[in-house]
Structure 1
């Protein structure tokens, strides 16, 4: 799971916030445990709700059985556990993770799962969320002033890009509009 000599950083979800006016998309904000960098992860409304409940400590019996709770029960019966959720890549606005799990003393990996599901698993199984240093350095949100942040364009969904393109045209910011149009076309 780890590349040779790659530094690994542990992250913690610090908040989940609505990121579209209609509330269809949310952003989970992860912060490195021993630093200041912040990583945005886009998630859908249903996953955001469940993640918030898990973060508040409503684990096992406090919620109706979610898929992560069912997995935890099945894993426990089979002497298995999830040991780590590793953020692996961000493509087209979707963050993907690898899930490292153990069955007895043998480790296995499930690759390229949606991060929204994996963040919920990390809270359900009480395991660390990690990321390679190089990916974190490339993907973290940078403060641009006055409490505003910029995020890498590959972290943004096509719908959000289209909304930003519309605003850029309305504001007559044609250079930004051109860049956004090119990114939307590249993803087709």
Structure 2
């Protein structure tokens, strides 16, 4: 399976789920986006790592891990989002010490927070992006405006939100597949990635 490199587009606050944030990952050589719902602490840690000039007065957990790893010559070489099961993303960190590599299981938000601190690349497999990626169909001018307005804001990570399958089913059960695709396109245009992810999850379940 081929790997696809991802970059971080931004973090947005969830409009429907208190204390949750949507982490938006970009396909580096494509147009797809991978939205993942994460908690407030992880969102803060990722935002601080993105804003290089912000330094907390005391080290956060991920900063402490980085300091610990540096002292013992451990390097995080890359992060791979390697599995998506029932809406939950699974990730691994590829670490190296004394030229010996180890693979460590990690929550996706933790793995990305550490990848930023180690300047490590983030990857996923093509089949995961095919399944959970969302296309953003915009003109070049609209893309430019959207990128200028992106704002980095100071459970397991999921594709969409942590609502139960029954809640999602009740919300979208009345829509046909064509209507769901139209709703998802509108949510993406509105940059409501959390809603788009939930709709995409429902479409994937119906088509499987």
155, 160, 165: which one pairs with 2:159? 155
Closer, same or farther in 2 for the Cα pair 1:159/1:107, shift >3 Å? same
Task: Tell me the C-alpha RMSD between the 2 structures.
Answer: 2.8
Runs of 5+ consecutive residues of structure 1 not aligned to the other structure: 1-5, 148-153, 184-188
Match of 2:188 in 1: none
Deviation at 1:94, TM superposition (A): 2.5
- What is aligned with 1:100? 94
Q: Kindly indicate whether the alpha-carbon contact (under 8 Å) linking 2:35 and 2:160 is maintained by their aligned counterparts in 1.
A: no
Q: 1:163, 1:63 → 2: CA distance?
A: 41
Select 2:42's aligned residue among 23, 32, 47: 47
**Higher share in strand:** 1
Distance 1:156 1:109, change over 3 A: same
Query: 1:16 aligns to what?
Result: 11
Would you say the 8 A contact 1:83–1:128 is kept in 2? yes
Q: CA deviation at 1:32?
A: 1.4
Specify which of 106, 115, 120 is matched with residue 108 of structure 2: 115
Q: 3-state DSSP class of the match of 2:163?
A: helix
Q: CA-to-partner distance for each residue in 1:22-60, whole Å, 9 max, x for gaps?
A: 53221110001122111111101111122111111147x
Q: Is the CA contact (8 Å cut-off) linking 2:36 and 2:160 kept in structure 1?
A: no
Partner residue in 2 for 1:70: 64
Q: Larger relative CO (CA 8 A, sep 6+): 1 or 2?
A: 2
TM-score using structure 1 length: 0.73
What is the alpha-carbon distance in structure 1 between the residues aligned to residue 125 and residue 172 of structure 2? 34
One of 132, 145, 151 as aligned partner of 1:139: 132
Other-structure match for 1:88: 82
Which runs of 5 or more structure 2 residues have no equivalent in the other structure? 143-157, 178-200
Q: Write the distance in 1 (CA, Å) between the matches of 2:85 and 2:16.
A: 23
Paired positions, count: 162
Structure-2 separation of matches of 1:66 and 1:58: 15
* Structure 1 residue 89: Cα displacement: 1.4
Partner of 1:186: none
